[in-house]
Structures are given as C-alpha cells and as structure tokens.
A and B are shown apart, each in its own frame.
Chain A
Amino acid sequence: MSSTTSNEDYYVPHGTYWPIIGSIGLSLTVIGTANFLHGTWSATPIFVGLAIIIFMMYGWFGTVVTESLAGMYNKQVDMSFRWGMGWFIFSEVMFFAAFFGALFYARAYSVPWLDGASNNDATAQYLWPDFEAAWPLLSVPLADKFSEAKHAMGAWGLPAINTLILLTSGLTVTLAHWALKRRDNVWLVYWLFATVALGFGFVFLQAYEYSHAYQDLNLRLDSGIYGSTFYMLTGFHGFHVTMGATMLLVIMIRAAKGHFTPENHFAFEAVAWYWHFVDVVWLGLFIFVYWL
C-alpha cells in the first residue's frame, strides 16, 4: 500500500467529438422514425441518422483501436473495458428478459384467463364465449381485428438446424481463441471466418423461415399474441446475431492485420462473449418459442 502509487498511467482521453455526433445521429434516427410512422416525413432522415451513427461508431472504435495499438492502455484500462462489456451484456440480457416475461405471462396467465381460468369466469362467458385457450395460440379472441395464423412454427425443421449452426459457431469461435493463444494467426482467421459464415448463414435461414411463416403459415406480426412474441423475440435475436456477426467480421479483419497477441486481445474476447450471449439467448428461444 505505497503512498505514491501513480494514476498517471490510466489513460484519460481529452476532449472528444464522437459522443455529440452519436447523439445527433440517434436523435435524427428516432425523430425520423416517428415522423415516418406518422406519414409526415419520408424515410430519408432515418437513413441519414443511421449513417451518422455508423460513422460515429467507425470513428470512435477506430480511435480506440489506434490508441490500443499505440500501447496507451494499461492493464487497468483493460479491466475497465472488461467490466464495461460484461455489464453491457447483462443489460442486454434484461432487455430480452422483458420479452421472455411477456411470453411467459401470455402463456401462463393472459391466454388461460381469457378462457375463464382463475377468477375470470365472467370475463370469458360474457366477453369471449367462443374463445379457447391454447398454445401456440392460433385463434385469437377477436378474429376480425387480427390476421390469424393457420399453423404454428414447428421446432424440428429449420429452427433445429439453426440451433446446430449457432452451437457450432460457439465452438468455432473458441477454436479461434485457442489459435490466438498459441499465436497461430492463420487458424485464428480461418476459425473466425467459419464463425462469421455460420452467423450470417443463421441470419439467412432465419429470413427464409420468416418468408415461409408469412406465405405458407400466415403467421404474422399481427397474428395475435403468438405472432407478437414469436417475431419480437426472434426478430431482436436475429438483429443481435447480425450485429454480432458484423463485429466478428471486423475482428477477423483486425486479426488478419495482426492486431492481436496472446496477451492483448480484449476486443476479440468482448466479441466472443457477446457471441456466446447471443447463442444462449437462442437456446432459450428454441426451447420456449419453438419447442415447448
């Protein structure tokens, strides 16, 4: 416990313009979206906003990469990044928890209650006498307001293949990590490439599944609570896979440039953590949305 421990080595950047650029981009995107939904603006502002956000991320991360390569980050800075990423992933878990919560609530409470379960006899009898609780819920209480699905989405076709794809990608990203740790840059890039390919393959199959759901099953976002939970959960998950695969792609390019050493590769690990998180969320989806 020396009294002269220096904090000088902790890199505290001076002024930065990236955050304000990010705020402008975010605001333009959401204001554009609200106005687009109201039919008052075209979609252009949304794209301009998104472009600003992408520019900001490119610049901000670019700055961080430059600083990292210049050796400006010591162990303690690295640790701050680790805590930051870990808690960020926790916040994402809680975001998904809200939608899983909605799914469980609908399955355990709202749908049975509409059919009279618990203390809701009168509700069922007077409001929705013809309604029958079921899950997956195909016939909703008020059919004319929604577009009822003809069939539910099965678990053992595409979704099972997609499960295999994601699980395999979890393996390949670990193999990439092992390659990194033994300084084998060639296999690092190969395994990352495999992971990225599996990731985008997953997204492609998911898109294919959506078109099948819309065209053949008439399972749509507006098919009632089953469609709502199905698309919101798988949709946000698919969005996260896309983000994760894109980040992996960036990491692959950086790996090919030789940015990582066995001692210093937090960017790689952060993205790998994120990828495992996406993987685990998928398992939850597979079990509760598709299978059970």
Chain B
Amino acid sequence: MYNETTHDGEGAHSDHDHHGPAKGLMRWVTTTNHKDIGTLYLWLSFTMLLYGGSMAMVIRLELFQPGLQWVEPHFFNQMTTMHGLVMVFGAIMPAFVGLANWLIPMMIGAPDMALPRMNNWSFWILPFAFTMLASTTLMESGAPAFGWTFYAPLSTTFAPDSTDFFIFAVHLMGISSVMGAINVIATILNMRAPGMTLMKMPLFVWTWLITAYLLIAVMPVLAGAVTMMLTDRHFGTSFFDAAGGGDPVMFQHIFWFFGHPEVYIMILPAFGVISAIIPTFARKPLFGYSSMVYATASIAILSFMVWAHHMFTTGMPVAGELYFMYATILISVPTGVKVFNWVTTMWKGSMTFETPMLWALGFIVMFTIGGLSGLMLGVAPVDTQYHDTYFVVAHFHYVLVTGALYSIIAAFYYWVPKWTGHMYDERLGKIHFWWSTIAVNVLFFPQHFLGLAGMPRRIPDYSLQFAEFNMISSIGGFAFGLAQVFFLYIVIKTIKGGEKATDRVWEGATGLEFEHLSSPPPYHSFNEAPPVK
C-alpha cells in the first residue's frame, strides 16, 4: 500500500520521466505532484465560492425588502457568519495556494514543491476542516452566529455549542496554511533554477514569498486566539472575561493582530497576478520592478502595526487612536506605488484587451475604489460614524471581490491555456467579465450610500429609507451570483476542449512557464533546470 517504502534509492528518480499520474480516484488522494495539488486547491476554492455564494444569496434575499421576509434573524446571523468564514478561509485563501502550487515551481524552474508529501497534507486537511465547519449548520444549536470576526463574549459566553467545531476547524485550517506557507518559502528559497536570482523572480513569486511569511507569522496567533476561546468556554479561564481580570477587547486585539495581516495575505498574491498580466497585454516590461518588491515588503511590515484601526470605537486611549490612524494612512503609500506602476506599465503600451486583461483592468480600477474607502475608514474621527455600517461592507467587498477574487479569475483566464492546453472561449470570457463587473457595482456601490446614511451591518431588517438601495443591491447580487455559475460552465468547457493553445499562449507573455514548457506542461516539468537569462 505504501508505495514510497518500496522504492529503492535508484528507482526513485530514474523513472521520473516516464512517470505519469497514477490511475483512478486514489491519484488525487495520494498525489505529491504540485500540479495535481494545485488543481485540488482550485476546485476546493470554487466549491467554497459557490457554497459561500449561496449563503450570500440568502442574505440578499432577506434584505431585498425591509421587514422579515424569508429567514429568522438568528438564521440570518448564521448566514453572514458562515458566508464570511467560507469566503475568506475557503474561497480566497485556497485559490491563491492553488495558484502558488501550479505556478511557483514552473516560474522558478523547479521540479516540484520542496516538500511534496507535506504539500499533500496541507491540502487534505482542508476538506475535513470545511466539512466540520459546514456541518455546524445542521447542528441543534445552529451554526455560529457571531460574525466572521467572532468577537468575545458572543463567541465565548453566549455562543452555541457548535462553536467548538468552528474552533477546531480554525485550528485545522491554521495547520494547513502554515504547512502550505512553509512549503512555499522552502520552494522559493531553495529550488530556483541556477541564474534565477531573487531579483529576477516574477512578482507573483515575490508576493507569495512575503505572503507565506505573513501566514507563518499570524496563523499561529489566530490558533492562540481560538484556543483561548476554547478554554474560556470550557475550562474556566478568563482571558476575555472582565470578571476575572481579562478583557473582551483583548480578543479584538489578538484577532486583528491576525486579521489585518490576513487581509494582505488575501491581496499580495493578487498584486503578483496583476503584475504578470498587465505587462503581457501592454507588451511592455513591468514598470518599476524593484520598487514593486520593496513596496510589497513594506506593506507586509506595516501590516503588523495597524491592526487597531478596526477598533477605533472600542474606547482606546487617544494616543492609540492617533498612532493607529497615522500608521494606517501610511500603508496607502506603498499601495499607491503599486497602482502607479501598473498604470505606468500601460502608458504608451500596445494594449490589447483579451479576457485576462479585462479582469486585471477591472481589478486596478475597483481595487483602488476599495483602497480609497479604506483611507476614509482609516481616519479615526470619521470612522466613529462609518464603523459597523454598510460602508465597511462596501469597502471590504471592493478590495476582496473586485480585488482578490477578480485577480483569481484573471489568473484563471491567463494561465488556464497553459494548464490545460486549451484556449477558453474568448466570447464567453468577455461576457463573463462585463456581466460580473456591471453586477458587482450594482451590488456593492449603493452600499456606500447605505452606510453613510447609517444602515448597520449584520442586521436582517432595516428602516424604510434604506429600501431602494437595498433592492438595487440585491438585484446586483443575484446577477453576480448567476455570473459565477456561468463561470463554472466556462471552466468545465475549457477543460473539456477548445482551441489548441500555443506554448507561449499570449504574444507578449514572458517567464519560464511560457518560454520553456509546452501547453499543457508535462506531469513532471523541469527535470532539467531551464536556462535563465
């Protein structure tokens, strides 16, 4: 059964070239191949996108009109909670790990990830973790209903029994993420082809290196936070209980010490994707490569020092408010550098607008809108008004949906011809883009107005003056949801067949994966390290 123990030293590598994938279902369970594992991650992510999306549909359905229409308030809270958790931990993060698996070895000329068995485990923890998390919805107490930020005491004193399954699911996701990140770092630092110096690495590789560092630094802190929740709930500790000398606000500090770097974990690889796509379709090298690297690194460092901008209304001392305000605004400098460099890359380029480029451009415009609303939120005195309103919801959906998710979809269209050897259907891809982009703005843009007018987030009912914008937003929501089902069709169609892709795929594409590998690449690529110019 354990075929690795039956190898002898010689056989293990001499049969490499001839070794294709194993047959049958067990191939996917036992695989150590970075391409297989990348595929598994991407499918998990898509499944979670549709699962989390269906909960978003419940939310938008309830909010379609004022009054309680479809679901109980308690169930509504379960939906917002599970939606957030599933999207963050199930859809966005695994998608980027999937892209890392597929792309990093091919981009740096490595035969595989550095620690292939551990790579398998990083993935195969996740289906168990998400099954556990999803199963809470069926439990007697219902799913957790305290929001994806699980603030104490809602998540400790007043939480349902199912919270313990949530806690352990988070532990498992943490183990998976840390192992995945360790693998990425070991691969990048140790597996580059000769000549691939650090400053020659594609930006996707750079951004993932820094993301992996962030993951290893903060996922254990999240594990610590849920562990304290567990002991507060069952073993009488009082970390988050003022009656014993602790403080519920302490939970928020620990959570956001994880949480703010976490939002950069979800956006830095996106920056890498955009930095690959824009030069290809502008047919110009990326403007300011090294400043991109330094900007990424500064964002990562700063991201550890701004967490309490999520806590301006918790009664922090004024000195704290001021410090966290200035530090937060400072982050927009390196972020601005990036946007500037992308725009400058396109300046006087010979641009074409194939589907990946459309998604990348959509990213630049709409992510910037999200960044600007972030700046508004970062100003402590005005955040007192915006906090916990729909304005915050609009902000983070612009950065996460039209930011992170758009980059993932862009990456799919850009690299899927390389992965499968088939071009996607260009006409359908463009329809997907325009449909999604119109819908997503109808969905989220009005939420800015709702928030500024004072509509609170995480509420199943609202006052009458918010009715029109909510209805508009819901219509956009249904349309956006449907667009992603259409995306599923495009994905399957592309895998099944399509025009044959060339090895370079795009006229302007550069990088080892386009210059040295066939489309699709062999199951084991780069058994010989490629020459790096």
Tell me which residues across on chain B come within 8 A of A137, comparing CB atoms.
245
Give the B interface residue count (CB, 8 A). Answer: 95
Tell me which residues across on chain B come within 8 A of A141, comparing CB atoms.
242-245
Q: Which of B115-131 contact A (CB under 8 A)?
A: 115-118, 120-121, 124-125, 127-128
Interface of B is mostly: helix
Q: What are 24 pairs between A and B in contact, CB < 8 Å?
A: A6-B528, A7-B110, A7-B111, A7-B529, A12-B16, A15-B3, A16-B30, A59-B2, A80-B190, A87-B181, A88-B178, A88-B182, A91-B182, A94-B217, A98-B228, A102-B228, A102-B239, A102-B246, A110-B242, A113-B247, A119-B315, A145-B243, A224-B238, A225-B246
Contact at A224–B245, with CB atoms within 8 Å? yes
Contact at A142–B244, with CB atoms within 8 Å? yes
Task: Report if B4 contacts A (CB, 8 A).
Answer: yes
Task: Report if A31 contacts B (CB, 8 A).
Answer: yes
A13 to B8, CA, bound (A): 11
Tell me which residues across on chain B come within 8 A of A66, comparing CB atoms.
5
Task: Report if A37 contacts B (CB, 8 A).
Answer: yes
Contact at B121–A22, with CB atoms within 8 Å? yes
Task: Report if B84 contacts A (CB, 8 A).
Answer: no
Task: Report if B218 contacts A (CB, 8 A).
Answer: yes
B68-76, B250-258, B425-433: which lies at the interface: B250-258
A281 to chain B, nearest CB (A): 13
A117-155 Cβ-contact flags toward B at 8 Å (1 or 0):
011000000010000000001001110011100000000
Contact at A26–B236, with CB atoms within 8 Å? no
Contact at B237–A232, with CB atoms within 8 Å? yes
A90 to B216, CA, bound (A): 7
Task: Report if B189 contacts A (CB, 8 A).
Answer: yes
Q: Which of B7-35 contact A (CB under 8 A)?
A: 7-9, 12-14, 16, 19, 22, 26-27, 29-32
Task: Report if B149 contacts A (CB, 8 A).
Answer: no
A57-70 Cβ-contact flags toward B at 8 Å (1 or 0):
00110010011001
**Known A14-B32, A15-B27, A84-B186; further 15 A-B contacts with Cβ < 8 A:** A10-B111, A16-B32, A17-B2, A17-B30, A37-B164, A70-B8, A72-B7, A79-B190, A83-B189, A84-B182, A91-B219, A97-B221, A140-B243, A221-B235, A228-B244
Tell me which residues across on chain B come within 8 A of A59, comparing CB atoms.
2
Tell me which residues across on chain B come within 8 A of A157, comparing CB atoms.
none
Contact at B168–A110, with CB atoms within 8 Å? no
A186 to chain B, nearest CB (A): 29
Task: Report if B95 contacts A (CB, 8 A).
Answer: no
Contact at A8–B257, with CB atoms within 8 Å? no
A60 to B186, CA, bound (A): 20
Tell me which residues across on chain B come within 8 A of A34, comparing CB atoms.
164-165, 167-168
A224 to B125, CA, bound (A): 35
A127 to B115, CA, bound (A): 55
Given contacts A6-B528, A16-B4, A70-B8, contact A80 B172 (CB under 8 A): no
Q: In the complex, which residue of chain B has the Cβ closest to the Cβ of A37? A: B234
A105 to B227, CA, bound (A): 17
Contact at A83–B190, with CB atoms within 8 Å? yes
Contact at B121–A23, with CB atoms within 8 Å? yes
Tell me which residues across on chain A come within 8 A of B530, comparing CB atoms.
3
Tell me which residues across on chain A come within 8 A of B317, comparing CB atoms.
118-119
B130 to chain A, nearest CB (A): 11
Contact at A6–B529, with CB atoms within 8 Å? yes
Given contacts A23-B124, A84-B115, A98-B225, contact A140 B32 (CB under 8 A): no
Q: Which of A203-235 contact B (CB under 8 A)?
A: 220-222, 224-229, 231-232
Contact at B9–A71, with CB atoms within 8 Å? yes
Contact at A14–B4, with CB atoms within 8 Å? yes
A74 to chain B, nearest CB (A): 10
